[in-house]
Structure 1
Amino acid sequence: MVRFKNRWLLVELIPTPGPNANPNTRLDGQKIWAALRQSVLANFGDVGWGSVGLSMTVKYYSPTTNICIIRVARDHHKIAWGALTLITAIEGTRYIPNVIHLSGTIKHAQLAAIAHNREVIARYRAQAKTPSAYQDSYEDYLHTSSMEIEALQD
């Protein structure tokens, strides 16, 4: 029996303000997957899509921290990574994709996602200049997002 081997990409989608930005656009996993599919087809053609299409899924997306976890087959993960970095806009809103972590197991992707969420929330708190003992809604978000990420299955 042969095991299906994956690569897990942890990606931050950084929104950039622009004149054509649609403020009502709410990203979700399906929109990210569709944009990634279009990027693979545009840049790598049908052969590229044929190599990654069956294995590529968006397993998690957080609209608060704009991170997502994408699963793709190990043999062709570079095609997905390349197509991901070539995405410029999703649903009319410009984004800069930043690959934060690449791992071979979902567990390491989960750990990197939780650590990155904590870093982003720390930046939000620093911008708000709140004292460290102050209780805010971010604490609840960190708890729920950690639970959601840890619940992901391969």
Structure 2
Amino acid sequence: MVRIKQRYLLFNILYPGSAAEAKKSLPTSLSFQAPTPDYLDAGRLVGHIRNHITLLFGDFGLGLSLSSLKIVYFSSATSTVILRVPRNHHRIVWAALTHVTELPSPRRGEPGKPCVIRVVRVSGTIRKAEEELIRRTRRDIVMAKLTDDGKGETWLAGLASRGADGEQLAANVNVNMKSIEDLSGDESDESD
């Protein structure tokens, strides 16, 4: 029996329009990151990706990539997605993600929210994609904590209160703050 092989694309949805608004409240390293609008869910996002695949590669490209196209993880609070795609045709999906310039609007005929999709990692297993997601999230928390003299804490508090997994994220942020302070103390000791 032949096993169907997949690839997992970990990507972030960035909002360039929010960078100008949020310069005062966010660290500069996180100024393009914002929560995804509430109306956008995994099904609507996958439909939007399918439309872009059809737009760029036609029905043939959609047929090649449709066999296992599925969102495995979607966090509206952090605008992070893990997408499962067929191994042989993951570059088609990656190219379509690169050409997405706006999210779908809640109503037909209205312009969508401008965005940029940045593919962070292509992985052969979901485990490696999740590990990369955790590693990047920890790095962002440390950067938010260490830069801009406390602005990161207000950003983290706002992020923790948002989204379906806000309570879990708030608990994780509170638990991890102690380890982040230890980590930042270790980094400052090494630089001396």
TM-score by length of 1: 0.77
Count of residues paired in the alignment: 137
Q: Determine if the alignment matches structure 1 residue 100 to structure 2 residue 120.
A: yes
Give the conservation status (yes or no) of the 8 Å contact 2:16–2:116.
yes
Q: Determine if the alignment matches structure 1 residue 66 to structure 2 residue 79.
A: yes
Q: Which has the larger radius of gyration?
A: 2
Q: Deviations over 1:76-132 (max 9, x none)?
A: 111011101111111201111101111101110110011112122333334563399
In structure 2, relative to structure 1, the CA distance for the partners of 1:131 and 1:124 (3 Å cut) is closer
Determine what percentage of the aligned residue pairs are the same residue: 31
Give the conservation status (yes or no) of the 8 Å contact 2:8–2:124.
yes
Runs of 4+ in 1 over 4 A off after TM superposition: 136-140
In the TM superposition, what are the counterparts of 1:108-127 in structure 2 within 5 Å? 108-126=128-146
Q: Determine if the alignment matches structure 1 residue 42 to structure 2 residue 55.
A: yes
In structure 2, relative to structure 1, the CA distance for the partners of 1:9 and 1:24 (3 Å cut) is closer
Larger relative strand fraction:
1
Which of 5, 19, 25 is the matching residue for 2:37?
A: 25
How well do the aligned residues superpose, as a CA RMSD in angstroms?
A: 2.8
Q: Determine if the alignment matches structure 1 residue 83 to structure 2 residue 96.
A: yes
SS in 1 for 2:81: strand
Give the conservation status (yes or no) of the 8 Å contact 1:16–1:94.
yes
Q: Which amino acid aligns with 1:2?
A: V
User: How far off is 1:70 after superposition?
Assistant: 0.3
Give the conservation status (yes or no) of the 8 Å contact 1:65–1:120.
no
Runs of at least 5 residues in structure 2 that lack an aligned partner in the other structure: 19-34, 105-111, 161-166, 174-192
Larger relative helix fraction:
2
Runs of at least 5 residues in structure 1 that lack an aligned partner in the other structure: 145-154
